[in-house]
Structure 1
Amino acid sequence: MELANRVQTLTPSSTLAITAKAKELKQAGHDVIGLGAGEPDFNTPKHILDAASQAMYEGFTKYTPAGGTVELKKAIQTKMNNDHKLSYDLDQIIVTIGAKHALYTLFQVLLNKGDEVIVPTPYWVSYPEQIKLAEGSPVFVDAKEENEFKLTPEQLENAITEKTKAVIINSPSNPTGVMYEKEELLALGEVCLKHDIFIVSDEIYEKLTYTDTEHFSVAELSGLLKEKTIIINGVSKSHSMTGWRIGYAVGEKQIIKAMTNLASHSTSNPTSISQVAAEAAYSGSQQPVKEMKEAFRERLEKLYEWLVEIPGIECVKPKGAFYLFPNVKKAVEMNGFDSVDDWVAALLEEEKVALVPGSGFGAPDNVRLSYAISIEQLEDAAKRIKRFVENHQ
């Protein structure tokens, strides 16, 4: 049986693959420390659970509008105004089944065959695959490690062609954790306005930042930039609601209308109960978000300190999300492995520590470590990695 061409070129998610292997070893009785997870290890806050439970018992278990309930859209309106002083009409908002679905749907309605989307590397693993599924072409631009993995205006300018439709900006970033500052976003935005291309601003980690530098959305920097920006966000990371699958996109009315029409023929609507939960996430207490953020901040400081002490490992210190993305090329060479992927596989086999190789993110010299586990486990993992490196010298 021959499958459709559009799926035959897909690359499986490296993050899901490493997580599955780690679970397999755990089920076999091994003491595995998984640093591959892309989700907080906290439960969803109680007031959100209570809202969802009440909605179920009150019978809110039917279809909703394809683009989301009016109540949740209003909560998103308020959130955007409070956080970024941005005003959007209800028909400029679509609620989706996670931020990933928002991105997928956006590329489906935005791209024609051959349209190019500039993707800075390292990139989140699904960006290029979703672009290809929409018959677009991802154009990779190496955001240099010496520049904290940030795309420069010069790089963006040089990558733009007559086929360029959009550029992706992910701040804070998965996998690097780096965050663009206001001036950097403005400079990139000016290039986009000059060439009349869209900005896909993935802001899913905006609430998880650990420096005095304030998070900015490129859309809030000018009215013109707002018109050319589609913001992607959701409650998965900020409120520890990954399994609830609620994301959203805000932007130009014609784009959002097309996304809503497509959703009506593909998913019908996001889960009704999850929408009530997301509404409670935004309208209720934000104290659990602050507490989770502080826990991540403490873990970051500790893990970063332990990691950079290991021979052959160098790391740009992240400013957000919950990942470290160290360069392990020297350690790999010192340990006698042919590639980072081989080094990661051996580390999992020998020390039962699961990392995600950077090859899946377009950065083959790096690995991604998630610190969405306890400090005790992180310390143990760092010790195991150090022992592994030293044993192979």
Structure 2
Amino acid sequence: MTAANTSSQSPTERRVSARVGAISESATLAVDAKAKALKAAGRPVIGFGAGEPDFPTPDYIVEAAIAACTNPTYHRYTPAGGLPELKAAIAAKTARDSGYEVEPAQVLVTNGGKQAIYESFAALLDPGDEVIVPTPYWTTYPESIRLAGGVPVDVVADETTGYRVSVEQLEAARTPRTKVLLFVSPSNPTGAVYAREQVEAIGRWAAEHGLWVLTDEIYEHLVYGSAEFHSLPVVVPELRDKCIVVNGVAKTYAMTGWRVGWAIGPKDVVKAAANLQSHATSNVSNVAQAAALAAVSGDLDAVAKMREAFDRRRRTIVRMLNEIDGVECPEPEGAFYAYPSVKGLLGKEIRGRRPADSVELAEVILEEAEVAVVPGEAFGTPGYLRLSYALGDEDLVEGVSRIQKLLAEAS
């Protein structure tokens, strides 16, 4: 049922609220679930859908969780905003890794980065407030904004700029209703990383116009080649009082299933978000928090090994995708995604079908090559595909080889 249908019905006719009925399912999780279901049914599907490291959580982190299970302190409720020792460790980790000095009272521990994003928007936005969203975007951002009562305003960048938006584009999208800029570097889904001078220019533009900035730094340690990560409130310190930083343990420590993220911001906003969390979920699982404490207090050896593997896979997938006629894939500088343009293939015949958009092309690839990819429509830009290269080298080569073989038939 579409949002339009639900909104035209009377309250007694609607089975699902218009607000929740308008939410789209996470496209990336849907593709991953479909790929896993087909594999369970015996089909040799290779999935490039989920943004999830294929490495196990490091042993010392798992051991900390096991020890926490035996500690009666963790069998009880703990502060809704996070274990005090974890908040202190996150503050120390933030200073260590990005040079951003914050107090534990500025930290809110959440059930993954998604909760941090939603609660931050909910704490900032009133109905009708606009949020500028560089596009392609991760699927959760616009849904979180809408749930919080805000209006996402897309600013589209394409492969010609390496998927980076300019200050001029942002200014063209600004209106009297604009309250927040979303800023993500390294980016999901494109892998784009903004250079320091670009971060500074965008940050100073936001500060000049009194805008809030929510910056997602979850991929801070996954950058490659000459690219460098730069934390926006460090580069533009005058933004500190109107900036929220979202992060978590999921990508850096291969802990996607542990569900621990956090938001860092001004104390009044963090307190408001914590109040919301106290009614929504209360504290994050204490066992998962103990594991996160071990993670952020430890070294970065594990992520260094993962980064080496991801870098190797990054170069392989970009080379193989660019060998396909009709595909153009810029080299991602961060995260673990390739985001090729497939506009040159749309409308061409492939095994008796002529995909008109990237949704249909992704369906053809799944059905004919048994490879799962996510269409660009999920990220706000039709005509593209997202492929996560956070999977084994052999599966990566086999999967892209299947795509190459299938798309070579396009005519």
TM bracket, shorter-chain basis: over 0.9
Question: How far is the alpha carbon of 1:160 from its aligned partner?
Answer: 1.0
Q: Does residue 172 of structure 2 align to residue 158 of structure 1?
A: yes
Alignment: residue pair count: 393
Q: Which has the higher contact order (CA 8 A, sep 6+)?
A: 1
Tell me which residue corresponds to 2:8.
Answer: none
Question: How far is the alpha carbon of 1:391 from its aligned partner?
Answer: 2.4
Tell me which residue corresponds to 2:46.
Answer: 33
Tell me which residue corresponds to 2:24.
Answer: 11
Q: How does 1:171-320 map to 2 (within 5 A)?
A: 171-320=185-334
Q: Judge conservation of contact 1:95–1:248 (CA < 8 Å) in 2.
A: yes
Tell me which residue corresponds to 2:154.
Answer: 140
Q: Judge conservation of contact 1:112–1:134 (CA < 8 Å) in 2.
A: yes
Partner Cα separation in structure 2 for residue 244 and residue 271 of structure 1: 9
Q: Does residue 125 of structure 2 align to residue 86 of structure 1?
A: no
Tell me which residue corresponds to 1:355.
Answer: 373
Deviations 1:121-170, CA, capped at 9 Å, x for gaps: 10000111111111110011112321111110111111111111101111
Question: How far is the alpha carbon of 1:20 from its aligned partner?
Answer: 1.7
Q: Does residue 68 of structure 2 align to residue 45 of structure 1?
A: no
Question: How far is the alpha carbon of 1:222 from its aligned partner?
Answer: 3.2
Q: Judge conservation of contact 1:172–1:206 (CA < 8 Å) in 2.
A: yes
Q: Which amino acid aligns with 1:366?
A: Y
% same residue: 45
Deviations 1:75-101, CA, capped at 9 Å, x for gaps: 111111112222111211100000100
Task: Describe the SS at the equivalent of 1:342.
Answer: helix
Q: Judge conservation of contact 1:66–1:269 (CA < 8 Å) in 2.
A: yes
Partner Cα separation in structure 1 for residue 225 and residue 213 of structure 2: 25
Q: Does residue 74 of structure 2 align to residue 98 of structure 1?
A: no
Task: Describe the SS at the equivalent of 1:209.
Answer: coil
Please provide the CA RMSD for this pair. Answer: 1.1
For structure 2, the 5+ residue unaligned runs are 1-13
Partner Cα separation in structure 1 for residue 326 and residue 236 of structure 2: 44
Partner Cα separation in structure 2 for residue 244 and residue 339 of structure 1: 36
What is the TM-score normalised by the length of structure 2? Answer: 0.94
Task: Describe the SS at the equivalent of 1:114.
Answer: coil
Deviations 1:160-189, CA, capped at 9 Å, x for gaps: 111111011111000000111111011011
Q: How does 1:328-347 map to 2 (within 5 A)?
A: 328-335=342-349, 336-347=354-365
Question: How far is the alpha carbon of 1:282 from its aligned partner?
Answer: 1.1
What is the TM-score normalised by the length of structure 1? Answer: 0.98
Partner Cα separation in structure 2 for residue 193 and residue 49 of structure 1: 42
Q: How does 1:63-82 map to 2 (within 5 A)?
A: 63-82=77-96
Partner Cα separation in structure 1 for residue 186 and residue 99 of structure 2: 19
Question: How far is the alpha carbon of 1:108 from its aligned partner?
Answer: 1.0
Tell me which residue corresponds to 2:393.
Answer: 375
Tell me which residue corresponds to 1:124.
Answer: 138
Question: How far is the alpha carbon of 1:268 from its aligned partner?
Answer: 0.8
Question: How far is the alpha carbon of 1:316 from its aligned partner?
Answer: 1.1
Q: Judge conservation of contact 2:377–2:383 (CA < 8 Å) in 1.
A: yes
Partner Cα separation in structure 1 for residue 318 and residue 96 of structure 2: 32
Deviations 1:58-77, CA, capped at 9 Å, x for gaps: 22222111110111111111
Q: Which amino acid aligns with 1:359?
A: E
Q: Judge conservation of contact 1:234–1:248 (CA < 8 Å) in 2.
A: yes
Q: Judge conservation of contact 1:203–1:233 (CA < 8 Å) in 2.
A: yes
Q: Judge conservation of contact 2:113–2:260 (CA < 8 Å) in 1.
A: yes
Q: Judge conservation of contact 2:345–2:410 (CA < 8 Å) in 1.
A: no
Question: How far is the alpha carbon of 1:225 from its aligned partner?
Answer: 1.8
Point out 4+ residue stretches in structure 1 off by more than 3 angstroms.
333-336
Partner Cα separation in structure 2 for residue 283 and residue 12 of structure 1: 35
Question: How far is the alpha carbon of 1:382 from its aligned partner?
Answer: 1.3
Q: Judge conservation of contact 1:312–1:334 (CA < 8 Å) in 2.
A: no
Q: Judge conservation of contact 1:306–1:382 (CA < 8 Å) in 2.
A: yes
Partner Cα separation in structure 2 for residue 390 and residue 158 of structure 1: 41
Question: How far is the alpha carbon of 1:236 from its aligned partner?
Answer: 0.4
Question: How far is the alpha carbon of 1:17 from its aligned partner?
Answer: 1.5
